[in-house]
Amino acid sequence: MRAAAPGVLLVLIMAQPNLATGMMPYYRHAWDLAPLLITVIFAAYLFALTPTLSFIGTPPARAAWWWRIGLGSACGIGADLAMSLADSAGPACVARVLAGLSVGLVTGSLAGLILERSGEGGRTAMATATVLGSALGTIAAAWVAQYLPAPGVTVYLGHAVLLGIVAMAVLLDRSARDQVAVGAQRPALPSTEPRIAGYLNGIAAWVSAGLVVALLPSYGAELLDTTNLPLLALPVTLYLVSAWIVQRAVPPGRLPAEPLIGQLTIIAGVALAATVAAAPSLAVLLTGAVAAGCGQGIAYRTGLRIVSAATPPDQHARVASRYAAVAYLCAAVATIGFGVVATLGTMQDAVIAAALVLVAVAAATVLVRKRAVPQAIVTEATTTTA
């Protein structure tokens, strides 16, 4: 139970910002939201998460875990209460800011606690908890909102109660008596890829996530002419699960031109989703979501591997936080841009705009990789001569 509790808390923390995703078609109708406001609500979370994760989300030592876990959990409960009382986009943005603070504060500390209690297996547990929380939050909120009374209240109050109970259990058990050795860690070998290619992969991964999470449910509702929330939440859920599965199924470094394969797969998925406007089909929309999710998983992992190559173990957390912060910030700006396009035009226009942005990012990746090849040859020749 001691080993499981931090993982369960991470699931609940990651679920909170995704509850609104599964309910967004409901909010769009109930609050009469324009697409721009939908994307602003989504981006508010990322704008809060990015600085929190960058500046205070990485604890310097074990003693600094606990106040972050406590305060972050309290922010998560506050986000639940704010959303349960929200009746427009303004209060919803406040709730999303609290959710961003919650995830930014808690993630690093829970990662340390999970590794302490589970050893190397904790790395898989962290990845699983992150995706499981996001997927469960999306689909569970949709089911509760569809079939239980007071859809804008019930799901958040239930989540707040669960979050409070599990957070208390974690905070009351701070003993390290069953600490598991994490094992010796060695820096990765230097990457032959330019670091900017890594950041471009992270940007592509999260720009696609912004599009899928913020707009895809409303896009599906508009084109498939349905108000069934679990059905509309299914593409987002499959996107998230696919991103996790592909990281487990495909070992890193096995794909040719991996920094491009992930991005091209994302583009293919988004382009497939765009065709639903011409020929409405749930199967095509789901297939596009799965393809984009697979690309997202490959691109994000590849980017992180490139930027953290040859980084000492004690600097991994800071490098990962900086990488995530860049990706989140670009995703927030791009998502608001997609909202502007959808508001001035149509949802289909926003999906096409996202595809074009992703193509531009992929083209930039090709360019920086080509420029890096001659430099790598010169460096290798110099080293050999010396």
- What is the Cα–Cα distance from 29 to 31, expressed in whole angstroms? 6
Q: What is the pLDDT of residue 320?
A: 75
Best CA proximity match to 365, nearest among 193, 189, 190, 191: 193
Q: Which alpha helices (DSSP H) does the chain contain, by range?
A: 4-30, 35-55, 65-85, 89-118, 121-147, 151-171, 195-224, 229-249, 258-274, 282-308, 316-344, 347-385
Query: For the purposes of burial, counting CB atoms within 10 Å of the CB of 372, is it exposed (0-12), middle (13-18) or buried (19 or more)?
Result: middle
Contact (CB, 8 A) for 217 and 232: yes
Instruction: Provide the token pair at 64.
Output: 């600094």
- Angle, CA of 113, 119 and 123, to the nearest 5°: 75
- Cα–Cα–Cα angle for 34, 36, 38, rounded to 5 degrees: 75
Per-residue pLDDT tens digits of the chain, which is 386 residues long: 666 889 899 999 999 999 999 999 999 989 999 999 999 999 999 999 999 988 888 787 888 889 999 999 999 999 999 999 999 999 999 999 999 999 999 988 888 888 787 765 666 677 778 888 889 999 999 999 899 888 889 999 999 999 999 999 999 988 765 544 444 444 444 557 888 999 999 999 999 999 998 898 989 988 888 889 999 999 999 999 999 899 888 888 788 888 899 999 999 999 999 999 888 999 999 999 999 999 999 998 888 888 877 667 566 667 777 888 899 899 999 999 999 999 999 999 999 999 999 999 999 999 998 887 655 444 444 444 44
CB 45 within 8 A of CB 336: no
User: 284, exposed or middle or buried, with CB in 10 Å at 0-12, 13-18, 19+?
Assistant: middle
Q: How far is C-alpha 290 from the chain's CA centre?
A: 15
Q: List Cβ neighbours of 361 (8 Å cut-off, separation of 6 or more).
A: 200, 203, 204, 207, 263
**Other CB atoms within 10 Å distance of the CB of residue 262:** 29
Phi, psi of 381 (to 5 degrees): -65, -40
| pLDDT given for residue 265 in this prediction | 96
Task: Write down the pTM of the prediction.
Answer: 0.84
Note the pLDDT of residue 379. Answer: 46
Cβ pair 80, 163 in contact under 8 A: yes
End-to-end CA distance of the chain: 56
Closest residue by Cα to residue 113 from 182, 168, 160, 52: 182
Cα–Cα distance for residue pair 29/351, rounded to 1 Å: 21
How many Cβ atoms are within 10 Å of 281's Cβ, its own excluded? Answer: 14
Residues 131 and 18 sit within 8 Å (Cβ to Cβ):
no
Contact by Cβ (8 Å): 24, 89: no
107, 11 Cβ separation under 8 angstroms: no
Q: Quick check: 156 and 80 in contact, CB under 8 A?
A: yes
Tokens of 100: 């961003």
Distance CA 119, CA 113 (A): 10
Q: Which of 144, 60, 155 is nearest to 108 (CA)?
A: 60
